[in-house]
Chain A
Amino acid sequence: MPTNAKPKLAVWKFASCDGCQLSLLDCEDELLAVAGAVEIANFPEATRALSKGPYDLSLVEGSITTSHDAERIQKVRKMSKYLITIGACATAGGIQALRNFANVTDFINYVYASPQYIETLHKSTPIGYHVFVDFELRGCPINKMQLVEVLSAFLNGRKPNTPAYGVCVECKLKGTPCVMVAQGTPCMGPVTHAGCGAICPSFDRGCYGCFGPKETANTISLSEQFHKSGVTDEQLIRAYRSFNACSDTFRKEGDAHERQ
Chain B
Amino acid sequence: MKGNRLIKVDYLARVEGEGSLYVKIKDNKVEDVKFKIFEPPRFFEAFLRGREYKEAPDISARICGICPIAYQMSAVTAMEQAFGMKVDGQLRALRRLIYCGEWIESHALHVYMLHAPDFLGYEDAIQLAKDYPDAVQRGLRLKKVGNDLMTIVGGREIHPINVRVGGFYKTPDKAKFKAITEELKWARDAAVETVKFVATLKFPDFERDYEFVALRHPSEYPLFEGHLVSNKGLDIEIKDYEQHFAEEHAKHSHALHSVLKARGAYFVGPLARYSLNYDRLTPLAQKCAKEAGLGKTCNNPFKSIIVRSVETVWACEEALRIIKEYERPDKPYVEANPRAAVGCGCSEAPRGICYHRYRLDDKGIILDAKIVPPTSQNQKTIEADLAEFVPQHLKLSDEKLTWQCEQAVRNYDPCISCATHFLKLHIERE
Contacts and interface: CB of A to CB of B under 8 A. Distances in A.
A46 B52 contact: no
Contact of A118 (B13, B41, B63): B41
A23 B125 contact: no
Q: Which of B42, B161, B403, B406 has the most CB of A within 10 A?
A: B42
B14 A45 contact: yes
Given A208-B58, A243-B62, A46 B14 contact: yes
B42 A117 contact: no
A99 interface: yes
Given A47-B13, A95-B62, A114-B251, A106 B161 contact: no
A210 interface: yes
B206 interface: no
Contacts of A18: 16-17, 64-66, 415, 417
Nearest to A49: B123
A28 B40 contact: no
B249 A69 contact: no
A48 B13 contact: yes
A26 interface: yes
A205 B170 contact: yes
Given A29-B144, A32-B129, A111 B158 contact: no
Nearest to A235: B52
B42 to A, nearest CB: 4
A102 B126 contact: no
Interface string A198-242: 011011110010100000000000000000000000010010001
A242 B169 CA distance: 20
B65 A46 contact: no
A19 interface: yes
Interface string A173-213: 00000000000000000000000100110111100101000
A199 B140 CA distance: 24
Contacts of B161: 199-200, 203, 205, 208
Contact of A203 (B63, B123, B162): B162
Interface stretch (B43-51, B190-198, B285-293, B341-349): B43-51
B372 to A, nearest CB: 12
A203 B169 contact: yes
Interface in A102-137: 102, 104, 106-108, 110-114, 117-118, 120, 124
B155 A203 contact: yes
B46 A204 contact: no
B302 interface: no
A91 interface: no
Interface string B127-166: 1010000001100110110010000000111110110000
Q: Which of B40, B156, B256, B421 has the most CB of A within 10 A?
A: B40
A112 B155 contact: no
Contact of B249 (A32, A106, A113, A202): A113
A69 B65 contact: no
A48 B251 contact: no
B59 A48 contact: no
B17 A26 contact: no
A13 interface: yes
Contacts of A117: 249-251
Contacts of A5: none
A224 B86 CA distance: 36
A85 interface: no
A184 B59 CA distance: 24
Contacts of A20: 65, 158
A164 interface: no
A179 to B, nearest CB: 10
Contacts of A106: 46
B144 A28 contact: yes
Given A15-B40, A32-B129, A114-B249, A99 B62 contact: no
A102 B124 contact: no
Nearest to B42: A96
Q: Which of B51, B161, B250 has the most CB of A within 10 A?
A: B161
Contacts of B141: 28
Interface string B7-41: 00001111111100000000000000000000111
Contacts of B17: 13, 18
B115 interface: no
A25 B113 contact: yes
A111 B143 CA distance: 34
B42 A65 contact: yes
A117 B249 CA distance: 9
Q: Which of B52, B63, B143, B254 has the most CB of A within 10 A?
A: B254
Contacts of B129: 32, 35
A1 interface: no
A10 interface: no
A17 interface: yes
Given A111-B46, A205-B162, A69 B40 contact: yes
Nearest to B145: A28
Contacts of B64: 17-19
Interface of A: 13-20, 22-23, 25-26, 28-29, 31-32, 35, 40, 44-49, 65-66, 69, 94-96, 98-99, 102, 104, 106-108, 110-114, 117-118, 120, 124, 140-141, 196, 199-200, 202-205, 208, 210, 235, 238, 242-243
15 contacts: A17-B62, A19-B64, A19-B159, A22-B66, A29-B140, A46-B113, A65-B40, A96-B42, A104-B43, A108-B43, A124-B42, A200-B155, A204-B170, A210-B159, A242-B55
Q: Which 5 A-B residue pairings sit nearest by Cβ, starting from the closest? A: A19-B65, A47-B124, A107-B46, A49-B123, A98-B47
